[in-house]
């Protein structure tokens, strides 16, 4: 014990108690056994031997490498290492040490600057509230007077452990402060989402010390991004210019991020273009900005520009790019980003890999998603969520529930997103019992209050079973006012089960909430059409006209030969148009032998052109026809479309999958349709 105490205090003259080191050695299995034995034979322990002993460990070397300010003593390294591995034990040791000292024990192992600094650093690294409380407690009780440097570290420790309130109190009581103290406290408030509070303190700082550094501005700009208030951000931008710190790359990057998060991508671009030295973070920020604005193509363009300029990419870059690809379902770009990730050695990054899991599942390759997931050395809740959502979207609810159960049994804490993923999986696959059990377990076992989206899943679940009245009561009984998602779920159910009364009711609620959203009118139109109420259907069309709402051209695309090919409704712009239409007509004839009858009732209301043959040339059919002519037989096809698939296309694609013996995955605006052997994974409910 003493020996460990001595270690901490860097006072390595005393002979170690062999037992203490033996305990150490057994608690740290990674230490080389031989090294420990040799070490224990030493009659005296010097700083040097200590270093050698500790450096025998792989992990220690790693810590030394990654710690921004190289650890200057083995004591600190030890502390960081021990606490990383076994926090509780580490603190027991220190408790003994400190209490031993207070009892007037000999040996001189005092908890001094190094000990505290090491402990504080460990807590910062670990974000351990318990540890932070303990360390701070020791300091207070022992009456140790920290200098400004250490006091600031303690402040930071509180901030990083999420104890912003305590940090604020500490800050107020500090006998002496400097810019760093202010910056740390303001940063803590911003991190904790208390933006206005942060602004208050910032103004106080301005009044009290009439100074601020670029670091302060970085924090405050981040705060205005959090608020989503561009006028605050703009004011800070002018302050930055006046103070002459605008060329600071940290400032520029935060500005880019702030402008894009506030919806001003052009301003973000201007800041980016003005960067003297464009760092990788600057590139990442602007690319993420374009991605956020749905400009995936623009984002990819910048990414290739970045590559051509030889900017070294990091794991952020790949994560962003992969998530863009997931949205675009762009295989070729994603494959390259995946390769880049591997080449540059970021294979073990959680975020990038989670993005990959998401990508593969959105691309329709759920097995590949599972493979990436299985290969991940570090997984967090989000990684599990991505996989569960993947199974759910592919109509594989049983696997989704299995994954959910496995995740919980591993001791991970599911978040509300996890529940969203697993409940929607249950809804997609008609797993009623499982769904209700999980829904009820949310508040019972996991202390998570179901939100509107969770209710929407349950409404969908009931709706699939045709229990429309029950679904309606669930909306009425919800502990909050119903949201559009809940009404939309009910409306969909009404469409499938042809309940036009309730459907109309739900649709009217929706019109009020989002009058400009076309899809609501269309679903109601389908409700009427499918139940033969053409008069009502006409009135919906009239409403559409009155409100000057027009359908955006529906667009589908398919990637063939490393290139996306886009199709609009009735599109004849593709170079292979003739071939495509010929193939489509041929295959439409072929599926008639399988019992296909064109149905008008599912028609998407192209308002002006309500004719039967029109749905033959819906964009998804054209994309599939192109896939059929330009890929070898039996190749699976992946189609993405920006709107919801219509009933006729759904029937047709099922049969095309059957007659051509191809797997066809269509990702529409709401889910995946996995067509195989004449059936679809959505079980005809979408």
Partner DNA sequence: GTAGGGTTAG
Q: Is 350 in the site for DNA (CB under 7 A)?
A: yes
Q: Which is nearer to DNA, 249 or 453 (CB)?
A: 249
Give the nearest distance from C-beta 542 to DNA in angstroms: 39
The residue range among 213-221, 402-410, 572-580, 675-683 that interacts with DNA, by the rule CB under 7 A, is 213-221
Candidate residues 57, 115, 128, 285; the one interacting with DNA per rule CB under 7 A? 285
HEC profile for 447-488?
CCCCCHHHHHHHHHHHHHCCCHHHHHHHHHHCCCCCCHHHHH
Instruction: With contacts defined by CB under 7 A, name the span among 22-30, 52-60, 343-351, 467-475 that binds DNA.
Output: 343-351
> What CA–CA distance (Å, rounded) separates 403 from 401?
5
* Smaller CB separation from DNA, 150 or 607: 150
Residues binding DNA: number (CB under 7 A): 64
Structure tokens that stand for 227 in this block: 């608020």
Pairing between strand 664-667 and 637-641? parallel
Q: To the nearest whole angstrom, how small is the minimum distance from the Cβ of residue 602 to DNA?
A: 30
Can you tell me which of 101, 358, 399, 668 binds DNA, judged by CB under 7 A?
358
Q: By C-beta, is 179 or 541 nearer to DNA? A: 179
Which of 36, 254, 520, 530 binds DNA (CB under 7 A)? It is 254
- Out of 180, 247, 441, 635, the only residue in the binding site for DNA (CB under 7 A) is 180
Q: For residue 193, what are its two tokens?
A: 């989402």
* Alpha carbon distances (Å) from 664 to 161, 308, 328, 332, 369: 49, 36, 17, 18, 18
Rule CB under 7 A: say whether 41 interacts with DNA. no
Residue 679, SS3 per DSSP = strand
Considering only 418, 526, 619, 681, the residue that binds DNA (CB under 7 A) is 418
Please state, in angstroms and rounded to a whole number, the distance separating the CA atoms of residues 414 and 396.
20
Q: Which residues pair with 563 in a beta bridge?
A: 560
399 is an interface residue for DNA by CB under 7 A: no
How many angstroms separate the CA atoms of 237 and 244, rounded?
A: 11
Cβ proximity to DNA, 323 vs 619, nearer residue: 323
Nearer to DNA, 403 or 475 (CB): 403
Q: Which of 179, 243, 599, 659 binds DNA (CB under 7 A)?
A: 179
In contact, 56 and 32? CB cutoff 8 Å: yes
Quote the CA–CA distance of 586 and 605 in Å, as a whole number. 25
CA distances from 433 to 385, 419, 421 (A): 21, 15, 16
| From 279, 577, 616, 631, residue interacting with DNA (rule: CB under 7 A) | 279
For residue 560, the surrounding DSSP H or E stretch is strand 555-560
Query: 182-201: which residues touch DNA (CB under 7 A)?
Result: 183-184, 187
**Which residue lies nearer to DNA by CB, 218 or 603?**
218
526 binds DNA (CB under 7 A): no
Token reading at 597: 């009858």
Q: Using CB under 7 A, which of 69, 242, 447, 548 touches DNA?
A: 69
Residue 591 tokens read as 């599926």
Binding segment for DNA among 75-83, 94-102, 148-156, 551-559 (CB under 7 A)? Answer: 148-156
Minimum distance of DNA from residue 468's CB (angstroms): 29
Instruction: Report in angstroms the alpha-carbon separations of 609 from 314, 520, 531, 604, 651.
Output: 51, 19, 20, 10, 21
Question: How many CB atoms sit inside 10 A of residue 227's CB?
Answer: 20
Binding site for DNA (CB under 7 A): 68-69, 72, 113, 124, 147-150, 152-153, 156, 178-180, 183-184, 187, 213-216, 218-219, 222, 248-251, 253-254, 257, 279-282, 284-285, 288, 314-316, 319-320, 323, 326, 349-352, 354-355, 358, 380-383, 385-386, 389, 415, 417-418, 421
């Amino acid at each position: 014990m003493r020996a460990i105490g001595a270690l901490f205090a860097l006072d390595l003259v005393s002979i170690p108690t062999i037992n203490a080191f033996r305990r150490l050695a057994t608690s740290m299995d990674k230490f080389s056994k031989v090294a420990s034995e040799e070490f224990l034979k030493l009659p005296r322990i010097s700083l040097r031997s200590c270093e050698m002993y500790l450096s025998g460990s792989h992990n220690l070397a790693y810590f030394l490498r990654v710690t921004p300010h190289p650890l200057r003593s083995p004591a600190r390294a030890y502390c960081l290492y021990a606490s990383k591995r076994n926090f509780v034990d580490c603190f027991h040791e220190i408790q003994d040490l400190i209490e031993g000292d207070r009892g007037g024990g000999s040996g001189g192992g005092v908890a001094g600057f190094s000990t505290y600094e090491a402990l504080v650093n460990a807590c910062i690294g670990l974000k351990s509230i318990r540890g932070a409380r303990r360390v701070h407690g020791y300091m207070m009780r022992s009456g140790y007077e920290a200098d400004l440097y250490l006091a600031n570290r303690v402040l930071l420790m509180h901030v990083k452990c999420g104890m912003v309130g305590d940090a604020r109190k500490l800050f107020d009581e500090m006998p002496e402060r400097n810019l760093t103290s202010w910056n740390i406290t303001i940063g803590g408030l911003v991190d904790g989402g208390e933006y206005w509070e942060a602004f208050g303190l910032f103004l106080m700082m301005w009044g009290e010390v009439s100074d601020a550094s670029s670091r302060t501005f970085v924090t405050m700009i981040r705060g205005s991004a959090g608020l989503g208030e561009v006028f605050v951000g703009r004011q800070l931008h002018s302050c930055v210019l006046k103070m002459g710190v605008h060329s600071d790359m940290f400032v520029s990057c935060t500005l880019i991020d702030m402008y894009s998060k506030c919806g001003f991508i052009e301003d973000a671009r201007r800041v980016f273009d003005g960067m003297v030295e464009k760092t990788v973070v600057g590139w990442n920020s602007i690319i993420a900005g374009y991605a956020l604005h749905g400009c995936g193509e623009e984002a990819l363009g910048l990414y290739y520009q970045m590559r051509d300029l030889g900017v070294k990419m990091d794991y952020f870059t790949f994560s962003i790019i992969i998530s863009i690809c997931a949205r675009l379902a762009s295989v070729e770009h994603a494959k390259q980003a995946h390769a880049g990730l591997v080449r540059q050695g970021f294979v073990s990054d959680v975020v990038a890999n989670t993005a990959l899991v998401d990508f593969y599942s959105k691309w329709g390759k759920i097995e590949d998603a599972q493979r990436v997931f299985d290969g991940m050395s570090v997984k967090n809740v989000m990684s599990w969520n991505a996989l569960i959502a993947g199974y759910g979207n592919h109509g594989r609810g049983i696997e989704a529930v299995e994954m959910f159960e496995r995740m919980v049994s591993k001791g991970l804490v599911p978040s509300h997103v996890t529940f969203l993923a697993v409940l929607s999986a249950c809804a997609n696959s008609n797993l009623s019992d499982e769904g209700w059990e999980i829904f009820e377990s949310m508040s019972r076992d996991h202390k998570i209050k179901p939100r509107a989206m969770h209710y929407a899943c349950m409404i969908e679940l009931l709706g699939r079973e045709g229990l429309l009245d029950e679904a309606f009561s669930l909306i009425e009984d919800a502990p909050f006012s119903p949201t559009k998602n809940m009404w939309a779920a009910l409306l969909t159910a009404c469409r499938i089960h042809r309940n036009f009364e309730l459907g109309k009711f739900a649709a009217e609620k929706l019109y009020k909430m989002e009058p400009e959203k076309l899809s609501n009118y269309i679903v109601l139109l389908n409700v009427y059409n499918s139940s033969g109420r053409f008069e009502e259907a006409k009135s919906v069309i009239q409403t559409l006209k009155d409100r000057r709402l027009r359908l955006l051209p529906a667009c589908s695309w398919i990637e063939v030969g490393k290139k996306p090919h886009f199709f609009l409704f009735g599109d004849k712009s593709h170079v292979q148009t003739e071939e495509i239409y010929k193939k489509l007509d041929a295959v439409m004839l072929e599926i008639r032998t399988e019992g296909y009858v064109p149905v008008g009732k599912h028609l998407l209301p192209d308002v002006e052109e309500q004719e039967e043959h029109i749905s033959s040339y819906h964009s998804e059919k054209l994309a599939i026809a192109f896939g059929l002519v330009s890929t070898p037989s039996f190749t699976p096809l992946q189609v993405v479309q920006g709107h919801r698939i219509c009933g006729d296309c759904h029937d047709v694609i099922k049969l095309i999958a059957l007659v051509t013996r191809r797997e066809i995955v269509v990702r529409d605006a709401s889910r995946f349709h996995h067509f195989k052997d004449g059936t679809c994974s959505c079980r005809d409910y979408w």
